[in-house]
Structure 1
């Protein structure tokens, strides 16, 4: 975990422990960053994470999925983003913004304004026209350029957890009959157009990450594997960030039944692209399991909330385990969480003691 990690492009990572993008619901209603955002980013950057990634930042106004979500869809958000990048750089960490759009699950639109790959009555959403799909692609690319202007080392394309890019990849949610629907290649087309566009538009050393998840929202393992294999083979990304709910997830059916998902991905040829994972990593031992499986880095999520200096704790104590749940609001305040962040954590069953 102490070994530095080079990426194909951009700065080297000081160790193998990276801060996962964490929803915190503490930005202004217009998507600009707050003092709480700056304090949280600084508390993480100074505590040993080799890369510090922002929470999911929406690339279009209608992509907002969380109350108090950070935005990266207009230039009014640039000053706050720039300050966040400066804070991370000052503490010696590599910086990244996670690029996001909620799609049909964006819950802050007026009726009829939620959009997705296809109309979906359950979400009161309509399908995007081809012109709107191209605009969405361009807005992801423009958001990456905005992250570059703000001084970030890179950006991660969020194609996980049932947000808009995984909605396009889903064989159940995507019922399109054009070049963005039908076959796996077509359903993955938007993801790769965005990656290609960012690589072409941004400077040569701008780092691109891609996040993929495995569960829910019509995700088929074969489709995720296709995207992963192609992204690794083409080499236009710098790291692939796998986000299963649990790194111990074992495939229950199909060609890989009985195998851990992370072991399947670890065997894929990946050239210089780096591969990492998150998923219930709450101890030093669990972090080691990811690296022992042959992956290159570990994304720290809930453990970073429970113990802000998780990297320091792990590197000092090979038997370290995060505090057991639930924890008090006072404890989370000590870990650097704002009142809004703590209120969000109350939505997680058994996390905050009442």
Structure 2
């Protein structure tokens, strides 16, 4: 049986010391220009010190137009390199493999903070979004590739492409609304195209020892489970990814679609042939038994969100204690401050989640 403490190898890049990764978490702790803030540095390096095998940043915008929330880390300008380099160095010194999550907000971007028009795969007056031209979609692909190259220059061990949660790449996958008539819309092949172009472009542009992951949402946001499974099969089969990160919201639940009830959502993906590509899962994994169960059901690793906010050393704790469980929510603000949650992150948790901060 695979154990949480077992190291994990990849096609490219360094081994992880264990099967536990920090999930990419919105925290609003960076500066307004996307440069690194001390609070963001402390938050992430503390998790590296806490035993996480891989530590990933929050979603970092790959272009100014893609900025989705205040205090978002950026990776679209060389002016952001000094902070990114400091962070990569700090995570390595603390013992973790490092990754930047690359993101574009699309119709979920915020023009008030980005200063740029909102763009999307289709015109969306409700969001003030206009449809990208074919040439502009090609530029988005270049932006993701350029951001990955910038991450490698900064000294990170890898990047993850954010194709989940209704942001721009996931919008292209939306079967309800992406009816573009160019090569990026309509058919399943066309809607999947941007994912493959970004992944293939990054792999061609970075060195052989640079890790590359992809995050997908298997359902919701206009994504059909059967199509998500088909896309997962394709990216696993092509061999350019080092890992696929599945954001399940709840790693122990059945699919939303009643037609697929009777089987857990995780099981629709862990049975796919994967070669040397690893598969990780995220969603309500808050104790050691739950993390082990995900591995037992075929995942190669787990990504931890809530429990990592509550405990900087959650990874070390579940390796050491097979019964370890995170604190129940809500928790006092002082506890989170002691876990290196900065003021902006604390305010975000307080105002956006009614069960997090007591």
Counterpart Cα distance in 2 of 1:244 and 1:324: 21
Among candidates 126, 131, 141, match of residue 137 of structure 1: 141
> Which of residues 44, 49, 60 is equivalent to 1:46?
49
In the other structure, the counterpart of 2:28 is 25
Structure 1 residue aligned with 2:283? 279
| Alpha-carbon distance, 1:112 to partner | 8.2
* Displacement after TM superposition at 1:121 (Å): 1.7
Q: How does 1:62-211 map to 2 (within 5 A)?
A: 62-109=65-112, 113-211=117-215
Q: Is the 8 A contact 1:111 1:124 kept in 2?
A: no
Unaligned runs of 5+ in 1: none
Number of the residue aligned with 1:218 = 222
Q: Distance in 1 between matches of 2:128 and 2:227?
A: 26
Q: How far 1:263 sits from its partner (Å)?
A: 1.0
2-structure distance, mates of 1:253, 1:40? 37
**Alpha-carbon offset, residue 180 of structure 1:** 0.3
Corresponding position of 1:303: 307
Aligned residues: 353
1:58 corresponds to 2:76: no
With over 3 angstroms needed to count, the CA separation of the structure-2 counterparts of 1:333 and 1:192, relative to structure 1, is same
1:245 aligns with 2:249: yes
**RMSD, matched Cα:** 1.3
Distance 1:216 1:256, change over 3 A: closer
Matched, 1:332 2:315: no
Q: Deviations over 1:125-160 (max 9, x none)?
A: 110001100000000000000000000111000000
- Output the CA distance in 1 between the equivalents of 2:196 and 2:320: 40
Correspondent of 2:354 among 346, 349, 352: 349
Distance (whole Å) between structure 2 residues aligned to residue 296 and residue 310 of structure 1: 18
Q: Distance in 1 between matches of 2:9 and 2:116?
A: 46
- Write out per-residue CA displacement over residues 63-92 of structure 1, whole angstroms, 9 at most, x where no aligned residue: 111110000000000000000000111122
Distance in 1 between residues matched to 2:168 and 2:49, nearest whole Å:
33
Q: Could you tell me whether the CA contact under 8 Å between 1:161 and 1:215 is conserved in 2?
A: no
CA positional deviation for 1:41? 1.6
